[in-house]
Amino acid sequence: MAKYCRNCGAELKENQAVCLKCGAMVEDVNKSVSVEDDGNIGWGFLGFFVPIAGLVLYLIWKDKAPKNARMAGKGALISVIIEAVSVVFVLIIYFGLFAFTGALASGMGSSMTLLTALM
Ligand SMILES: [Zn+2]
């Protein structure tokens, strides 16, 4: 399909950035943006599995593609939160086992003391 200069109305060729007749810039923003800003859930998954990439995409797209930026940022954030929670879980399990083995060694009394200390 043919395009026309918004300034003078001259016909433009495909991928022509400047009008040859009047020198006006051809506005074709949608074509220059390689990624559609549709807030695709895929960017959320990318941010989730590669939080660094999600953060970088968020910073790059903050202005150009805010929906995608939010999606990628959200994925990265959820990933970081889950990671933090799993670290806490690992610590709880670790200290739980420590308390359990402590109970085997010196009876139930000390394990209860340890558990109350941990709570
Ligand atoms: Zn023109």
Q: Is the pLDDT of residue 94 over 80?
A: yes
CA of residue 109 to ligand 1 center, whole Å: 88
Cα 12 to Cα 29, 30, 31, 32, distances in angstroms: 15, 17, 15, 16
Q: What is the pLDDT of residues 8-39, one digit of tens each?
A: 989 888 888 888 899 888 865 555 556 788 99
CA of residue 13 to ligand 1 center, whole Å: 12
CA of residue 28 to ligand 1 center, whole Å: 14
Which helix (H) or strand (E) segment is 11 a member of? strand 11-12
- pLDDT higher at 98 or 89: 89
Using a cut of 0.95, tell me whether the model's pTM lies above it: no
**What pLDDT shows up at residue 82?**
96
